[in-house]
Structure 1
């Protein structure tokens, strides 16, 4: 058994079942190991950002890591943006990066790169295997490290000779760590704050955005009146009819400040203290009032759900949460706008869907409200703000939950970063319906141009945000990548095409042209 085979078998024994890959010469023995370990599923992405984003999406819904197989430092660099998003989502990802043979590295060949330094900036776990005999143990350690609460990117660097040399040994899985419990004294202190009568707000994130956490929070707010906000970009939010619904902290800084205005206490449960996404001239970075006191019920390494349930037992021992009901909505009509496209999706979303949302400005203001009363679903959002996440995350989600429909809500500009993900959807026959929102612009940048005070009436700046001249034809692009596509310019057309697409197996794309 060579080193690559021992790594492959160890990963499988440790619960890793899918390898998203864009390999090169240094990874060939790992690729060949797919035939000796056939239970490991290999999925090809045509760009490394698709590979890393798909590994993120898979882990978010499957609850266990996938492998992202990348070629040397440049491959890692190409996939970095979606590894950044995975880090911000606290997603367990095993990032396997091939390297030149150990004896070859001293020649500084064209692709020679300091892989360890690049991977180190992800603030996760990094190790370079030194021998074929130890590579299996390194793979077991990487898999366990990726799942350390709350989850992280674990990068294992595998030199080519470590892969091809014989003497590889399969290693036993490493026992996994559990989230740290929150002490009774901390829970009691937070209960006292919520009962104290001063205005308080509970900001929740991470696992608190799953059903058990939401139900506990619903009990707490029903009993105490504490206001609740979700973190702006939940990695996975369980939402829809039958669950408590809470507003998300706004992306727009001025709205977020208004949401937090007037509070005396900010209680954090699996979320970080809120700050503006960017700095703006003359405006504070912190969004909570300066005189508000911050309390931490549970940080990202704690068992936040258990802490919320313990808090609910103190403040609401017999109370229940308020639950949303499915709203009967009439379908809108007329030309598609930034508002009515979301109403179509909310009315027709299939039960149990997974929604990968990278709708950007087209969804910032309208999508949350309509989805809250839609049928039960999971929402995966743009956690790290590096665009190009939506299409690859939909790929991973569809592989991680093959019995559930996946709906991708995708902005046009962000789509072009990783449009190759459509090819993987077609090749793997994934049940993904993509609604691509075409407003022919990086509209968020037009908005931010004003926010940062860089006002201009000139046309040259505007051309850097304009995606027309020539227009992108997403129907033809999608069909060229193997995904059937249609175009909708009215709400009626979008409703017809969306209903048809979610009813048929396999991938589909609908280009929704917004007026």
Structure 2
């Protein structure tokens, strides 16, 4: 077998059914081999950031890795932003990067670069295959690293390794089950039983139905307050599943939310820090006077804690009233109300709405069961690619992507892939003609005069974009709306019709987060 055959044979045997690609000359043997194997679907993307973001969205919803195929160091560079988000989401992902033939690199060809250094910034595991004899064991180890490390495993594949004969498939080691420190869980149980002023802060794998039920049992038995991380990678919500308030983004609000607790228990999450540094404000959001207890990333640890403290299940909450349908001019709050009123059961909601989406969590809390994917790493351009991958992972579920106008311009090529693959994705562009989040940051970083702020706001004006025309140019039907009734009508239509749709919701800016 040649190296390309070994790679694709191993990926297929491991259940990696999708490879999101933007290949070049060095990857042609891999592309050709993929085309002969129906077990692996080659999903072409017109930009590497779409490929990596789609693999992130797929991995979050499928619970197993997809692969990417990128062209040399520059191709990896184009995909780094969404690999960063995947790393922060702990998404399993096998990132294949082609490179020059081993003997060709010595001549310093124009596209040569230090791939290892770039990949190391976003990967839990990086390796370069040096010969065809090693490719089988290398791809097997990459798969294990992606699954056990819950992150990006990058394998660099020189072109001569791919075209050379002499490779063989290596067995893939078994993946050990998640473990946790039972003694630490038992110590935490004693704290929650005996101490007042406790907070249980959850995130990561805990943000599913069973983990959230366990958290609620603990809270009801002990009086412990519940709080969730700001941007969970995947949050199962609605349909009576316990809904948790999330840590707010503004640093002063976050500090206030975490202040006054004697003990904070972190389950599936780490102690949070501020997104940015601000003059005179701390980086760590947890007070030095608070005692911190960390249960690790395993949801099983929290479920064990619930059994120690409050054995027995609690039923899900009963159905609650959904928001009423708004009327009149379209606002961010009206968009949220319509979404909460019409969100279908089983939807996957991908959120990159930035300031304009701040009403969405509350408005959808009482909607039917759905999943929510957040912008985990803060690197914008994640929304439309992640929705693309989520739709491939869950073809029988509607995917709804809320994305801000500025963010949408980072990866609009996603719409071409959605049209090509006939994916059931409804994209809602929240168009307020502004980088509104920067308006809030201007006020946080220092003292400015009104004249300074007026000049700065000219810089963040991004009016003049026509998203309906952009979508049409990539094969997606779209509509522009500026009333609540208009948005509700188009939202219903998009949910009822198969395939991708785009709705440009024209709204005024809201107060910055």
Query: Is the TM-score greater than 0.5?
Result: yes
Unaligned runs of 5+ in 1: none
Give the counterpart of 1:369 among 358, 362, 366: 362
Query: Which SS does the other structure have where 1:195 is aligned?
Result: helix
Find the counterpart in structure 1 of residue 306 from structure 2: 312
- Does residue 33 (structure 1) correspond to residue 30 (structure 2)? The answer is no
CA–CA distance in structure 2, aligned partners of residues 204 and 321 of structure 1: 20
Q: CA deviation at 1:82?
A: 0.2
Q: CA deviation at 1:138?
A: 1.1
Find the counterpart in structure 2 of residue 258 from structure 1: 256
Query: Which SS does the other structure have where 2:69 is aligned?
Result: strand
Find the counterpart in structure 1 of residue 511 from structure 2: none
Find the counterpart in structure 1 of residue 349 from structure 2: 355
Find the counterpart in structure 2 of residue 115 from structure 1: 115
- Does residue 327 (structure 1) correspond to residue 321 (structure 2)? The answer is yes
Find the counterpart in structure 1 of residue 395 from structure 2: 402
CA–CA distance in structure 2, aligned partners of residues 339 and 53 of structure 1: 28
Find the counterpart in structure 2 of residue 179 from structure 1: 178
Change over 3 Å in CA distance of 1:254–1:322 after alignment to 2:
farther
TM-score, normalised with respect to structure 1: 0.96
Q: CA deviation at 1:39?
A: 1.6
Residue 222 of structure 1 contacts residue 321 of structure 1 at CA under 8 Å; is this kept in 2?
no
Q: CA deviation at 1:169?
A: 1.5
**1:454-493: per-residue Cα shift (whole Å, max 9, x none)?**
525234422321102xx10001001111110001101111
Query: Which SS does the other structure have where 1:254 is aligned?
Result: helix
Query: Which SS does the other structure have where 2:375 is aligned?
Result: coil
> Counterparts of 1:438-457 in structure 2 under 5 Å?
438-453=431-446, 455-456=448-449, 457=451
Find the counterpart in structure 2 of residue 6 from structure 1: 6
Change over 3 Å in CA distance of 1:274–1:324 after alignment to 2:
farther
Find the counterpart in structure 1 of residue 461 from structure 2: 466
Q: CA deviation at 1:345?
A: 0.7
Find the counterpart in structure 1 of residue 60 from structure 2: 60
CA–CA distance in structure 2, aligned partners of residues 403 and 236 of structure 1: 18
TM-score, normalised with respect to structure 2: 0.96
**1:299-338: per-residue Cα shift (whole Å, max 9, x none)?**
23xx2x2211221122212462662634233201111112
Change over 3 Å in CA distance of 1:144–1:239 after alignment to 2:
same
**1:229-277: per-residue Cα shift (whole Å, max 9, x none)?**
1111100000012211110111111221222122111111111102111
Q: CA deviation at 1:354?
A: 0.4
Find the counterpart in structure 1 of residue 18 from structure 2: 18
- Does residue 506 (structure 1) correspond to residue 503 (structure 2)? The answer is no
- Does residue 269 (structure 1) correspond to residue 267 (structure 2)? The answer is yes
Give the counterpart of 2:242 among 241, 244, 254: 244
CA–CA distance in structure 2, aligned partners of residues 419 and 114 of structure 1: 28
CA–CA distance in structure 1, aligned partners of residues 356 and 234 of structure 2: 20
Residue 239 of structure 1 contacts residue 372 of structure 1 at CA under 8 Å; is this kept in 2?
yes
Change over 3 Å in CA distance of 1:72–1:324 after alignment to 2:
farther
